[in-house]
Amino acid sequence: MSMSPAARQMRVWTRLAMIWGLYYLLIFTLGINPRFMQQTIWIGAVVVVLLTVPVVLRHVRFRDVPREDKWLWVFFGWSLTGVFSATDMAEFGRFAQLVFEFAMVVTLVSLVLKYSGASRWLFGAYLGVALFRVLTGEIPIGMEQLEQTGNVVARIHDANSVGYYSLLGILGVLALLWETKRWGVRVLLVGSGIIALYGVVLSTSRGAFIALMAIAVLWPTLCLVGSSRYKLGAIAIAVLLLGVAYLGYEFVLQETNMGTRFMRSTHMEDNSTQVRFGLVMTAFRIFSENPVFGCGLGQFGVVSGTGYYAHNEVAEVLATTGLPGFILLYSVYAFAWVRLTRSLRWIQEPLFRYRINIARIGLLMLMLSGSLSRPNFLAQDTMFLLGIVLGTAHWAERLARAGLPAPRPMCARPVFDPWRLPCRCSAWGVPRAERTIEVCP
């Protein structure tokens, strides 16, 4: 039986999503081994780009590239202006390469997911990386590792990364739960999520723990209640899960080294917290001295004399790229949130609504983790997550524009629409040229 051109094209995009998921899995498992790092990262990058770019050039026009991706490329261009104020050109070049990779990865991943919607492959890769990092660590799994009062962080290689990979693994579990109806698979996913949860607590990464608490609140409210047809039952389950999450939170605070470190940081008694707060204040001072261009990519450690990055995305972006760079980058987050939230008004299918809400949680997690501990625009793992968010947003918009049933009009007059819809009651499926401003009943 021959496939239609649309089905054939969908299969191509889905296979590309599988390839990108495999690439992520390899670079953060096999790629962390120094013997295979360069081969895995660069050979893998060449392969996935060579497989993806011809498909993009064949099927995607420039106007079809997500608007947020274009803003990222403008952000990259603006960041290059820092060359005029940079003093360490080697660091500037290294950070400029990271921003270029950031824009490239986000663009390609978002395009693949825009036309396939197959984010499950990347979420599966997130889960695989989390399990690998926890199960192959130097410390054996056990409660005594969580409860000891010694400096656990010093005994875990790259503890903050382990905590963040584990957090992404939990997000992967939640994303995949609704992708299957087999209870055996769901039980395996829950078991994997428990291992990833262990990794977050073992790492004693406060940023990962705070983001985990946010997920514990957002997932029941956005995904269970917001994506279910049976609201009363979903609300009851959400309340139960929130109660379980609170008990888990109390256990972590009272019985684990993570809780001890977290409580010390909330009272500013932890040296690391004090240092990070000082870095943020220094970044704002540097921004005030050069609010337009900043001090240049990678120059914060040089200008501040600390040798560190700011450990805060907002502060890092303001200090190194100035206010225009900050506006460009965070407009991407804002536009993605608006696009995802807007799509929920037009899509009623529970599974699709669930995927959209998972993407919204991912976006909030990016913003939260960025404001607490890490510059996401320089981190290779978060490049993929932002690509998932943008790709899902445009995939959902494509579904809505394809003619899904619209909700009952709620507005009483024409409303300005920043997304070029003259009225919020206008049909998504109508071509722009045929839309007219109308007074909604």
pTM, to two decimals: 0.86
Residue 255, classified by CB atoms within 10 Å of its CB into exposed (0-12), middle (13-18) or buried (19+), is middle
pLDDT of the chain along its 441 residues, tens only? 567 888 888 999 999 999 999 999 999 998 888 888 888 888 888 999 999 999 999 999 999 999 999 999 999 999 999 998 888 899 999 999 999 999 999 999 999 999 999 999 999 999 999 999 988 876 656 555 565 544 444 445 577 788 899 999 999 999 999 988 889 999 999 999 999 999 898 888 888 889 999 999 999 999 988 888 888 888 999 999 999 999 999 988 888 888 888 888 777 777 777 888 888 899 999 999 999 999 999 898 888 887 777 878 999 999 999 999 999 999 999 999 999 999 998 888 899 999 999 999 999 999 988 888 788 888 887 889 999 999 999 999 998 887 554 344 333 333 333 334 433 333 333 343 333 333 332
Amino acid residing at 399: L
